[in-house]
């Protein structure tokens, strides 16, 4: 069987125009490949084109929520806030597309519906929802972690006569809330940001909560000119810190244990970190909060007291207080979230006590009555990590369906490749680290480009991870997740573990060993000549 009996239309197809897809497109183009890239949105920006809801902002830090490969760009661009808002991140990604001439590769408003590997030609065949078909040798995904939204599985939504929005499909034209009765379903990162932002606009705000979250303040504020100058002057150090931090944060790891620290000292440290906001409480206080349940119980008890000190009604405070460990599910950040529940026009509905049974013409029906509202905001999250893959038809060698391969949860090697799916590479895919995204997107984009260069220089036409490598990676990833507070993710409905969706396989979808460990493993894999990959010259030689 000849390889490439038909010339491919392009060398590589990239899906996605967020951080991952844009950078992969750039790198593949820079190593000389002809690249076509697609995105379902009508502009570049990935998740930031869709998640335009009021209050949407990253809780990563401004100096790290960007690429670092171009020093000139680092010296020219800066965000204006510590935690950049949606519009500014979108502006940054548009700048990336323009500055590096990436738009010409992209076909927007176009969904790739299938990607099928053809053994006769050794090429990937793609179909789009616009009826285009094309072939490529390499297939690279930058599909995003949170791109496949979900809705509550209860009847009657079509009967509701008011407005309905999902936070991740927010219209470009502003939505007015003034004087309206607004319902929000969901209290994850999107829900708490939304609630904190619209609370003073809505006439009534009813929050439907399934699982409460530990919501830290953000600590957001404008970035000062002096800070920008310092970051630019010390940029190599910022990169070093990010490279070595498990979450890709520009912080040194602390080396002190909560359980060994006197109560008054640790409480002062918690208070300081709480004021700093975001992930400071988790990463800047103690090293054992994620590993030792006793330490985690201490920080949770402290936060529970904090919630009780903010929320005036003790019953409501109790309902807002999680029972899961801090970090068992992705902790959100928002300013004024708990304070919102002190306002007389804000109600909390605990849907574990009072389940939503359906939607009506006028609002939301629960087991105990009907809530009449003008607007329903679904902040109900995503079929995270794997959803964007399993909604596509992806088939590898022998017609093997990715959906079948992942029927019990994702199986990959390093989150970068899948056995039986040759020359398919994923950036920020399932089983890659859960960390600040841009540094990982840059590392992984570089790694994929380097592997393709290695293939070209060594007469290798096809690569795929071995099945054994996948099994070992999944075992390691599971052991790491089981050793951390993430092991409580199932009870906490965490999307980390597929537990936010009924019927989804329960498996850890992300790697919690950290950005630094993953980057080291990827570097070692490359340095050793990709020992966990099959590397062959002909399709027929693939195992
Ligand atoms: P999410 O964290 O999955 O939260 C969804 C919320 O909806 C949860 O409270 C969930 O309850 C609830 N829910 C889901 N299905 C429901 C149903 N049928 N009935 C009632 N409630 C339901 O989704 P998200 O808030 O959109 O955030 C997803 C991820 O995107 C975040 O974890 C984060 O990684 C990223 N994100 C980041 C930022 C940021 O950086 N600041 C902002 C937004 C999003 P359960 O908890 O019980 O499942």
Q: Is the CB of 58 under 6 A from ligand 1?
A: yes
Residues 192, 374: Cα–Cα separation, whole Å: 20
Contact 274, 338 (CB under 8 A): no
212-225: average pLDDT: 97
Q: What is the mean pLDDT of residues 470-484?
A: 97
Split at pLDDT 50, 70, 90, the class of 3 is low
90-108 mean pLDDT: 98
Summarised one tens digit per residue, pLDDT across range 350-390 is 999 999 999 999 999 999 999 999 999 999 999 998 999 99
Average pLDDT over residues 200-215: 97
357 phi and psi angles, rounded to 5 deg: -105, -15
Please report the pLDDT score of residue 6 as a whole number: 72
Q: Is the CB of 185 under 6 A from ligand 1?
A: yes
232-249 pLDDT tens trace: 999 999 999 999 999 999
**Helix count and strand count (H, E) for the chain:** 17, 18
Q: What is the mean pLDDT of the chain?
A: 96
499 lines ligand 1 (CB under 6 A): no
Question: Measured between alpha carbons, how far is 236 from 230 in angstroms, rounded to an integer?
Answer: 11
Which of 58, 184, 188, 503 to mutate for ligand 1's pocket (most ligand atoms within 8 Å of CB)? 188
**Torsion angle (degrees, nearest 10) of CA 468, 471, 477, 478:** -150
DSSP-assigned beta bridge partners for residue 163 = 375
Residues 6+ apart with CB under 8 A from 125: 114, 115, 116, 117, 118, 133, 134, 135
What percent of the chain has a predicted confidence (pLDDT) above 70?
A: 99
Percent share of the chain, pLDDT over 90: 95
pLDDT at 5 over 70: no
Listed in sequence order, the residues at least 6 apart from 407 whose beta carbon sits closer than 8 Å to its beta carbon are 505
Answer whether 55 contacts ligand 1 (Cβ < 6 A). Answer: no
**Atom 11, ligand 1: residue with shortest CA distance:** 210
Give the number of C-alpha atoms closer than 13 A to the C-alpha of residue 213, restricted to the C-beta side: 23
Ligand 1 mean position, distance from CA 92 (Å): 25
Around 299, how many Cα atoms within 13 Å sit in the side-chain half-sphere?
A: 32
Q: What confidence category does residue 491 fall into, taking pLDDT thresholds of 50, 70 and 90?
A: confident
pLDDT in tens, 117-131: 999 999 999 999 999
- 300 in contact with ligand 1, CB cutoff 6 A: no
Q: What integer is the mean pLDDT of 421-437?
A: 97
Q: Which residue stretches of 426-502 are H helix?
A: 437-457, 467-483
**Contact 380 CB / ligand 1 (< 6 Å):** yes
Helix or strand run (H / E) with residue 121:
none
Give the model confidence (pLDDT) of 6-41 as tens digits.
799 999 999 999 999 999 999 999 999 999 999 999
* Ligand 1 pocket check for 330: Cβ under 6 Å: yes
Distance, CA of 301 to CA of 309 (rounded, Å): 12
Instruction: Kindly state if the Cβ of 535 falls inside 6 Å of ligand 1.
Output: no
Check residue 543 and give its pLDDT: 72
**HEC letters along 125-170:** EEEECCCCEEEEEEEEECCCCCCCECCCCCCCHHHCCCEEEEHHHC
Assign 490 a pLDDT band (cuts: 50, 70, 90).
Answer: confident
338, 322 contact by CB (below 8 A): no
Two tokens, residue 381: 């999250």
Please tell me the distance between residue 542's alpha carbon and the centre of ligand 1 in angstroms.
40
Question: What pLDDT is recorded for position 1?
Answer: 41
Q: Is the pLDDT of residue 2 over 60?
A: no
Residues contacting residue 527 through CB under 8 Å, at least 6 positions apart: none
Q: What is the number of alpha carbons within 13 Å of residue 309 lying toward its C-beta?
A: 7
Averaged over 500-509, what is the pLDDT?
92
pLDDT of 391 above 60: yes
Site to substitute for ligand 1 among 143, 197, 210, 506, most atoms within 8 A of C-beta: 210
Distance CA 25, CA 14 (A): 7
As a whole number of angstroms, the distance between CA 434 and CA 97 comes to 25
The mean pLDDT of 514-536, rounded to a whole number, is 97
CA distance 317 to 339: 10
Give 91: exposed, middle or buried? Use CB within 10 Å, 0-12, 13-18, 19+: middle
Mean per-residue pLDDT for 201-217?
A: 97
Please, where are the H alpha helices in 278-391?
280-283, 293-310, 314-320, 337-340, 387-390
pLDDT at 539 over 90: no
């Amino acid at each position: 069987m000849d390889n490439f009996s038909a010339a491919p239309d392009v060398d590589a197809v990239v899906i996605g125009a967020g951080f991952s897809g844009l950078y992969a497109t750039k790198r593949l183009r820079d190593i000389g490949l002809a690249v076509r890239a697609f995105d379902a949105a009508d502009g570049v920006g990935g998740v930031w084109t869709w998640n335009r809801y009021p209050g949407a902002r990253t809780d990563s830090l401004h100096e790290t929520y960007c690429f670092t490969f171009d020093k000139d760009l680092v010296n020219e661009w800066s965000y204006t806030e510590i935690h950049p808002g949606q519009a500014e991140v979108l502006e940054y990604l548009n700048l990336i597309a323009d500055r590096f001439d990436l738009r010409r590769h992209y076909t927007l408003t176009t969904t790739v519906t299938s990607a099928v590997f053809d053994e006769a030609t050794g090429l990937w065949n793609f179909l789009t929802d616009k009826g285009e078909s094309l072939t490529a040798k390499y297939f690279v995904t930058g599909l995003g972690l949170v791109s496949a939204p979900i809705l509550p599985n209860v009847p009657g939504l079509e009967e509701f006569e008011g407005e309905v929005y999902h936070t991740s499909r927010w219209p470009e034209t502003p939505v007015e809330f003034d004087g309206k009765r607004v319902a929000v379903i969901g209290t994850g990162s999107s829900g708490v940001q939304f609630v904190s932002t619209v609370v003073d606009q809505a006439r009534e705000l009813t929050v439907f909560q399934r699982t409460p979250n530990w919501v830290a303040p953000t600590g957001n504020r404008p970035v000062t000119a002096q800070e920008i100058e310092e970051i630019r002057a010390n940029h190599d150090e910022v990169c070093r810190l990010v490279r070595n931090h498990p979450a890709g944060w520009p912080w040194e790891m602390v080396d002190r244990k909560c359980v060994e620290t006197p109560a008054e000292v640790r409480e002062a440290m918690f208070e300081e970190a709480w004021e700093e906001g975001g992930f400071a409480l988790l990463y800047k206080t103690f090293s054992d909060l994620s590993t030792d349940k006793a330490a985690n119980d201490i920080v949770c008890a402290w936060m529970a007291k904090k919630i009780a000190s903010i929320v005036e009604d003790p019953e409501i405070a109790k309902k807002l207080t999680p029972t899961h460990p801090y970090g068992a599910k992705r902790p959100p950040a928002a300013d004024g979230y708990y304070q919102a529940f002190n306002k007389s026009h804000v109600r909390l509905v605990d849907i574990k006590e009072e389940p939503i049974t359906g939607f009506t013409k006028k609002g939301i029906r629960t087991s105990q009555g009907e809530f009449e509202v003008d607007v329903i905001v679904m902040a109900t999250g995503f079929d995270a990590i794997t959803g964007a893959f399993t909604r596509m038809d992806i088939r590898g060698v022998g017609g093997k369906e990715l959906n079948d391969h992942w029927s019990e949860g994702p199986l990959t090697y390093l989150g970068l490749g899948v056995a039986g799916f040759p020359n398919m590479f994923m950036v920020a895919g399932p089983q890659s680290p859960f960390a600040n995204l841009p540094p990982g997107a840059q590392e992984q984009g570089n790694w994929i480009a380097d592997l393709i260069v290695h293939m070209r220089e060594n007469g290798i036409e096809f690569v795929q991870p071995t099945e054994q490598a996948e099994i070992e990676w999944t075992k390691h990833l599971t052991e790491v997740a089981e050793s951390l507070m993430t092991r409580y993710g199932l009870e906490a409905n965490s999307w980390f573990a597929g537990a936010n969706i009924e019927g989804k396989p329960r498996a850890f979808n992300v790697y919690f060993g950290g950005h630094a460990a993953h980057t080291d493993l990827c570097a070692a894999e490359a340095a050793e000549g990709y020992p966990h990959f099959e590397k062959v010259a002909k399709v027929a030689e693939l195992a």
